[in-house]
Amino acid sequence: MSYTTLVDVATLRAHLDDPHWLVVDVRHQLSDTGYGERAYAAGHLPGAVFLHCDRDLSGAMTGCNGRHPLPDPERLAARLGEIGIGATTQVVVYDDAQGMIAGRLWWLLRWLGHDAVALLDGGLPAWQAAGGVLTDIVPSLVPRLFVPRGQALTVDADYVLERLETPHMRLVDGRGPDRFRGENETIDPVAGHIPGAVNRCFKDNLLPDGRFKPAATLRAEWLAVLAGSPPDLVVHQCGSGVSACLNILAMEIAGLPGSRLYAGSWSEWCADPGRPVAV
């Protein structure tokens, strides 16, 4: 069977030596972009390979396309093949940031048509809490052919602008409530949010220990957020198209598939002074 949303620690432990499974470490900090590589070198899950949020999971910034623009799909596909992801590979992604970075890779693989990807529920803290060991051994890569099959999972700024405050889009902002309100903005040059957006912080999908809430709980909470809008009219955004992916994952767990990502998100939106801003 394929895992397409979450994998728990016990299941992953049972498959650590499975050649058809690959674990990917994507630890990252916005304030210290070298953190992930250092943390990986110090200790990671056995067999895990490392991908960098900026170099591997993002494209080049132009100053007007956000802080984490989408990577070129062919370049990303080549990189995924290099580390050993093929058509039948079960991928498990993890971080130590409540899934914020791992959710990005989960979504990117889905964007390229690879559904057999799951987040380690609870991430590195859950692994260590269960007695899971870490290693500093870097595994030998076994390259495989990764053929991208692009999926229509994104919208652009023009799409959002044309549908602002209409019933044809339910825009969900995954940032913290303070930044959504325009308070404590220390990352982007403009504070506030896109008019008509509703706030659902990605952390609201999680239990206190960092694992996801039960599917039934998530479904009830997300139905309240959607307020009658069908999932295929939902567009997710955050600061730069990273943490919003965890809201997409939460909707999948809740049995509400079909939502899309505005990848440029607030950092792209606010780069154009002609676009409206709400506080």
Residues 159 and 235: their CA atoms lie apart, in Å, by 10
The pairing of strands 6-7 and 21-25 is unpaired
DSSP state of 29: B
**Active site (catalytic) residues:** 238
Residues 33 and 16: their CA atoms lie apart, in Å, by 28
In sequence order, what DSSP letters do the residues of 169-234 get, joined into one string? -EEEE-S-HHHHHT-S--SSSS-SB-TT-EE--GGGGB-TTSSBPPHHHHHHHHHHHHTT--GGGE
Hey, what amino acid is at 211? R
The residues, any chain, with a CB within 8 Å of residue 150's CB and separated by 6 or more, are 73, 111, 112, 113
Structure tokens at 30: 């916005």
